[in-house]
Amino acid sequence: MEHQSLDERFTSFLLDSQVLKFGDFTLKSGRQSPYFINAGAFDNGAKIATLGDFYAEKITEAMASGKLPKDIDTVFGPAYKGIPLAVSTAMALYSRHDLSVGYTFDRKEKKDHGDGGMFVGTQLRDGMKVLLVDDVMTAGTAVREVLPKLKEAADVQVVGLVLSVDRMEKTKDSDMSAVQSVEKEFGFPVLAIANVREIFAAAANLEDGEGKPLLNDEIIARAEEYMSQYGA
């Protein structure tokens, strides 16, 4: 396993966790996709802990290459799917990489009793460097919704966004992908543990439980057709 690249190891993990499936799927957008990613299948402690390890590995790689600063103050995950991502990533950064950073997530509704407030975890303060984490970005809606909340709370610096998978598909309104659109609009890097082309390349070298190639010629052909039509 150690000689495999990050995207190859991550693809195997997605498949083992039943998060990634190949076949014929109708997406919310109406597109017929040759693959489907169900982030809801990260449904137990082992899976979410391993996922946090992958996020932490991607983050520390980006720190080493200069894409992300090394002095991040907190990892922010938008409610609800981003909550376990933020927590598991902060834990993995500490346990695996000896980096102590906070975690923060938002409430869907502002709490008006007890400690109150819109955020749980590390509270935001002026000048803090905040790293966003999310699973799969389709249109960037979650980012556009959460950034005003962060800025309203404090004058923080959002230094980047880390995703599990970049679908690399054009949005409905442009020829850019959601990742490219967010990077252009907000000026911070959007990184993914793996993108869909890397996932298909890795899966092409894997076998199923019976020793047969995981991807047959039909799925590969449909994937190429899909990306030629929708890829950014």
113 is known as an active-site residue:
yes
Q: What distance in Å separates the CA atoms of residue 59 and residue 171, rounded to the nearest whole number?
A: 26
81 is known as an active-site residue:
no
**Considering only CA atoms, which of 12, 65, 17 is closest in space to residue 41?**
17
Q: Are 78 and 142 in contact (CB under 8 A)?
A: yes
Residue 103 token pair: 């975690």
Residue 25 token pair: 């799927």
**Considering only CA atoms, which of 33, 24, 87 is closest in space to residue 196?**
33
Q: Is residue 145 helix, strand or coil?
A: helix
Catalytic, out of 28, 108, 113, 212: 113
Catalytic, out of 111, 129, 151, 184: 111
**74 Cβ contact list (under 8 Å, min separation 6):** 90, 101, 102, 103, 104, 121, 122, 124, 128, 130, 131
Residues paired with 104 in a beta bridge: 76, 121
Catalytic residue set: 111, 113
